[in-house]
Amino acid sequence: MIRRAANVTEEENDKLHVNLNPIALEADLAYFGARMELVGTPKTCYQEAQLKVYRVLARSLEETLLRLRRA
């Protein structure tokens, strides 16, 4: 049974749904890896920020994949 937060409409609840499909997560992980390779050595503050975000997102996806594989 899926529970939803109090005072949340069905439409809002649908927006909160997260796709935990391992294949899709692996594709996202590959995307972030490619983006990091494209940036290479950052030359601007913007590129440094991009790399930080990509690393955090990749780490989060890796942790989620590990949890899904254990389940």
**The pTM is what?**
0.64
At 33, the amino acid letter reads G
Cβ–Cβ under 8 Å, residues 22 and 69: yes
Q: What is the mean pLDDT of each run of 10 residues along the chain (71 residues)?
A: 58 63 89 90 94 91 88 76
**Cβ(5)–Cβ(13) below 8 Å:** yes
pLDDT at position 1, please?
43
Q: What is the pLDDT of residue 53?
A: 92
The single residue listed with the structure tokens 């590990």 is 66
pLDDT at 9: 72
